[in-house]
Structure 1
Amino acid sequence: MSSTSSDVITEPVAGTTAPPRALPNGLAAFLVFLSSGAVLVLETVSLRLVGPYVGVTLQVTSSVIGMALAAIAYGAWMGGWLADRRDPRTLIAPALVLAGIATAVTLPIVRYAGEVLRGGAASAVLLLTAVTVLLPAALLAGITPLVVKLQLADLRRTGQVVGKLSSIGTLGGITATLGTGFILVAALPSSVIVLALAAVLGATGLALGFWLRRRSGGGPSAPGRAKAALALLGLSAAGLTAAAPNPCDVETAYHCARVEVDPQWPEGRTLYLNSAEHSYVDLGEPTHLKYGYTQWIGLVADLARPARQPVDALHLGGGGFTVPHYLAATRPGTDNLVFELDGGLVDLDKRELGLRTGPQLRARVGDARVLLGGEPTDSRDLIVGDAFGHLVVPWHLATREMAADVRRVLRPDGVYVQNVIDYPPDRFIKAELATVSAVFEHVALIAPPGAVAGRQGANFLIIASDAPLPLAGIPAGLKLLPEPAELLDEARTAEWVGDAQVLTDDYAPVDQLLATA
């Protein structure tokens, strides 16, 4: 077995215990690559697992990353500590098997704990992310120092061995991150990814049948001049960053936001989020709807109830609060409740976009799905879905479970409208229509003719209800708008959707469906 390793093993001193032999180089590299990559698979999938319970917010993302890093830190420390006290041969295989078990039980733990911790308070987020990733990631992180210990058979090559294995571990993490984000999540449900990873870890641990004895060693520290050069480079980079122009009026926890005055209308304001045009607000005339999709929402709202009749409206996503202002102006007495993830954006709206909150226009900061779960059943006449992460509907707001909760909150004759952006070949909008159709009795669509024909990217407006939809007046109303749009009634919508995939909490590859390549 030792003949396959290129490491030179020194002869033991008489009267001492011979050090364990080094692993074959290929096996050592594989174990480090696998264990490091598995940690990143867990970290990436964990966001999908906890999202339905505590939302997908900066705090949740930070918690998952922080818990993964904590697991790596403590796991590596513990693995190194054990490597100096026990023969690594006796530890690597059990660690892999235990990591596989811990990974497998993550699914039920998250699903049970998620129901108890549902809501999104900081303590709930930290606890749920901890039980999701901490134990399996720590066990996996402990494998690298155990392998390194076995490979340090020649003190003259300590730096080379440690550097090589560290590089391989990093490459494993990079490969896992890209592979999970671009391939696995698009191809497999989260539960399958987790269970498959658990199976690979367990099988690898069981198949590992040989060990080598340990040696210790340490790497040299960086030269003083190199440290000084790195410090100078860091200060220079910090200075350049501070001097660089900032494209944001406000950098919130979620957005780089700015507001620009309409050069053609002094009362007009355009809100940009992460450099994308997001909302238009007319400070002098709240019934002025500039964008096509807001005009469609206004048209559906006008037809859903008799004119001037107040409605109870819930808005999933605030942006510039254009539609709530429209409803308040056209239907005095309307109760507008807006769920907006970004509290900094609400503050910006108050400062620059004329937002005035009160009893009939309330803004509640938090994740729309989490907040929706706390709303009473049969309490709203109209629900407007207009939440985006940049130009993408957050995946956990696009699933069948989310649509079911929307239906629960709507009154039996209530109407749900959802704004979606997609591009040819229109895989996401079709999947989202299939998803909403799996919950609601009646579903229709408004979109530009070129978008329906697959020639252009555009906004699409889904209209859904359990009661017959108010479609009769929509075609005539669309003809009065400046930009062409058409209504696909229920039959045409179903035909256009075809056999598109229904999105669920377990399988909602929104980003991949939106990819045009």
Structure 2
Amino acid sequence: MGNPPRALPSGLATALVFGASGAVLVLEIVALRLVGPYVGVTLQVSSSVIGVSLAAIAYGTWLGGRLADRYDPRTLLAPALLLGAIGTAVTLPLVRYGGEVLRGGAAPAVLLLAALAVFLPAFILSAVSPLVVKLQLSDLNRTGSVVGRLSSIGTLGAITATLATGFIFVAAMPSSWIVLTLAVLLAVAGGALWWWLRASVPVKPKVKAALITLGLVGAGLGASSPNPCDVETAYHCAAVEKDSSTPSGRTLILNSARHSYVDLNDPRHLEFEYIQWIASVADVLPPGPLDALHIGGGGFTMPAYLKDTRPGSDQLVAELDGGLVDLDKEKLGLQTGPGLRVRVGDARVAVAAQETAAYDFVVGDAFGYLVVPWHLATKEMAQDIARVTKQSGVYVQNVIDYPPNRFIRAEIATVAAAFPHVAVIAPQDALDGKSGSNFVIMASKTELPLDAVRARLATQAKEPVTVLAGASLDAFVDDARVLTDDYAPVDQLLAG
């Protein structure tokens, strides 16, 4: 029976486990950003990426253990790092070319794109830890302490990578740079380890040439793959497209969704229908300046409209993404000042910080891809909005839903739990469950000016819409459950 392979120095073993585990978590977090422009950022997408990553870790660890029992782990460590580097580099072209084919797909497409984004490198790198563990088990009496120490080191590496990626890397550089930088670091580590082990692990020239070739090809494909983003902010893959029919028109694209339309020369030009509906509500409010609160900024289309149609208005916009605000200033003509202020941060926190009965008009238009963030869709949030709305003020909320309209019915019920007067604006086909659409909820503490809104919609809206209220609205909502902080399955309701 041959001698067991010589153990690695403790420091090197620790670094390998820490680094490999950390690299897998970097890939997992960045994968969410890579797939977002094609399939959005929803609970299903996040679950797919996490599930695929865990599957890769499970199978990679199993394979690493099997290989460690059959071969000298010292001969496998450097190749694992180098193959991990190659797998990391090729995730960019795999996702960006595959994403164009799978864009907006159903659950199988989301799972496949998540697998393209993370499975291969995570699978390879997860084999490193059992290889290292096998090399350190020179004394069976210390098996527990060795396995426990290296397992904890791997977990610490994963925690460190998670925090560093979320708080530092994503804010400091684009996702493609993070991926390519990680690939380079893995390649350097694999090359250095191979050189250090050269005396005990001879390398065949053909193997070396093959790995170098694969590495160069992977790096080249990764660097040259198309990037769907003009700007990658901390929360969005953002792009601004020019309107070929209107030279001054611009469309803001966030994670592949057409989010806002801005006419640089005419703030009263409202391209999207739901914005026309919201503007119709604003137009029938009492004349003069308004105190307005906007939950979500996007392209700042509605704030610009109110600034032009209601001179002297005092507006506050709560926008989570500071990078998006910078993009709006650079490419969409946003000008902030005393009458149009921006608070960068979570909208729920921003609303909680406002004074009671401070606003005539509150606009809810915050989205994560096509979904209202769940914590902005609950009764507790609606109650806080009601608190900051004046007695005669109006709250409008934009919602997207599809047949069988489970989310919009639940959201109307939720808003009605905070406001005594509620109505909804939508195309009749959408209300009948025949098509997906935007819905705009109206709510107030006093009677809503429904007749005036209908008259204004007849002239403002490009397509006929229905204003549903009273008993007809009650019948539409039916037995929909009110969403709360304890129960708000927004993604599942929207999925139908």
Q: What range is the shorter-chain TM-score in?
A: 0.5 to 0.7
Deviation, structure 1 residue 453: 0.7
1:218 corresponding residue in structure 2: none
Q: Does residue 238 of structure 2 align to residue 247 of structure 1?
A: no
Determine whether 1:330 maps to 2:329: no
Within the candidate set 413, 428, 453, 2:407 is matched to 428
Question: Per the alignment, do residues 230 and 503 of structure 1 end up closer, same or farther by CA in structure 2, a change over 3 Å counting?
Answer: farther
**2:368 alignment partner, SS class:** coil
**Conserved? CA contact 1:478–1:486, under 8 Å:** no
Give per-residue Cα distances to partners, 1:147-204, cap 9 Å, x unaligned: x99xx9x98xx9xxx9xxx9xxxxxxxxxxxxxxxxxxxxxxxxxxxxxxxxxxxxxx
| Cα distance change on mapping 1:267 and 1:502 into 2, 3 Å | same
C-alpha distance in 1, partners of 2:243/2:346?
31
Q: Is the 8 A contact 1:399 1:503 kept in 2?
A: yes
1:60-459 counterparts in 2 under 5 A?
233=214, 236-304=217-285, 306-307=286-287, 309-459=288-438
- Kindly state the Cα deviation for residue 266 of structure 1 after the two structures are TM-superposed: 0.8
- State whether structure 2 residue 483 is matched by structure 1 residue 514: no
CA distance in 2, matches of 1:321, 1:229: 52
Deviations 1:82-136 (A, max 9, x none): xxxxxxxxxxxxxxxxxxxxxxxxxxxxxxxxxxxxxxxxxxxxxxxxxxxxxxx
AA aligned to 1:283 is L
Shift of 1:365: 0.8
Secondary structure, aligned partner of 1:473: helix
Deviation at 1:240, TM superposition (A): 1.4
Identity of aligned residues (%): 65
1:12-91 → structure 2 map (5 Å cutoff): none
1:418–1:462 contact (8 Å) kept in structure 2: yes
Contact conserved, 1:255 with 1:274, CA < 8 A, in 2?
Answer: yes
Q: Which amino acid aligns with 2:401?
A: D
In 1, Cα distance between the equivalents of 2:242 and 2:415? 37
1:321–1:355 contact (8 Å) kept in structure 2:
yes
| Letter in structure 1 aligned against 2:417 | A
Contact 1:293 1:460 in 2 (8 A): yes
**Match in the other structure for 1:489:** 469
Deviations 1:39-58 (A, max 9, x none): x9xxxxxxxxxxxxxxx99x
Partner Cα separation in structure 2 for residue 223 and residue 372 of structure 1: 65
Letter in structure 2 aligned against 1:495? A
In structure 1, the residue matched to 2:442 is 463
Structure 1, gaps ≥5 residues long = 1-39, 41-55, 73-144, 167-220
Q: Is the 8 A contact 1:251 1:257 kept in 2?
A: yes
Distance 1:331 1:240, change over 3 A: same
Whether contact under 8 Å (2:284, 2:456) holds in the other structure is no
In structure 2, runs of 5+ residues without a counterpart are 1-24, 26-40, 58-129, 152-199
Q: Give the Å deviation of 1:476.
A: 2.1
- The correspondence for 2:480, drawn from 492, 495, 500, is 500
* Displacement after TM superposition at 1:254 (Å): 1.1
The offset of 1:411, in angstroms, is 1.2
1:247-271 Cα offsets, whole Å, 9 max, x none, are 1111111111111111111111111
Specify whether residues 248 and 477 from structure 1 end up closer, same or farther in structure 2 by C-alpha distance, changes over 3 A only: same
Could you say what secondary structure the match of 2:302 adopts? helix
Q: Distance in 2 between matches of 1:453 and 1:222?
A: 70
The structural deviation recorded for 1:413 is 1.6
**Is contact 2:292-2:313 (8 Å) kept?**
yes
Question: 2:437 & 2:259 partners in 1: Cα distance?
Answer: 13
Note closer, same or farther for the CA distance 1:500–1:240 as it changes in structure 2 (3 Å cut): same
> Cα gap change, 1:237/1:310 in structure 2, threshold over 3 Å: closer, same or farther?
same
Q: Which amino acid aligns with 1:488?
A: L
Q: Distance in 2 between matches of 1:223 and 1:429?
A: 65
**What SS class does the counterpart of residue 463 from structure 1 fall into?**
strand
Per-residue deviation, 1:235: 5.2
Cα deviation digits, residues 291-335 of structure 1 (max 9, x gap): 11101101101112x23x101000000011000001011110001
Q: SS in structure 2 opposite 1:270?
A: strand
Paired with 1:264 and 1:390, the residues of 2 have a C-alpha distance of 26
CA contact (8 A) 1:269 1:353 kept: yes
Identify if the C-alpha distance between structure 1 residues 230 and 418 changes in structure 2 by more than 3 Å, giving closer, same or farther: farther
- Secondary structure of the residue that 2:450 maps to in structure 1? coil
Partner SS, residue 456 of structure 2:
helix
**C-alpha contact (below 8 Å) 2:357/2:389 kept by paired residues:** yes
- The answer to whether the 8 Å contact 1:419/1:462 transfers is yes
Residue identity matched to 2:466: E
> What is the letter of the counterpart of residue 295 of structure 2?
L
2:335 maps to a residue whose letter is R
Shift in Å, 1:477? 2.1
What amino acid is the match of 1:421? I
Give distance in 1, aligned partners of 2:293 and 2:209. 57
Alpha-carbon distance in 2 for matches of 1:465, 1:289: 24
Contact 1:451/1:457 (<8 A) preserved: yes
How much has 1:236 moved relative to structure 2?
3.7
1:515 to partner: Cα distance: 0.7
Summarize deviations over 1:335-361 as a string: whole Å, max 9, x none.
111011111111110011010000001
Going from structure 1 to structure 2, the CA distance change for 1:422 and 1:230 (only over 3 Å counts) comes to: farther
Q: TM-score, normalised by structure 1?
A: 0.56
Q: The residue matched to 2:454 in structure 1 has which SS?
A: helix
Structure 1 residues 239 and 443: CA distance shift in structure 2, 3 A: same
**Taking structure 1 as reference, are residues 243 and 300 closer, same or farther at Cα in structure 2, changes over 3 Å only?**
same
**Count of aligned positions:** 316
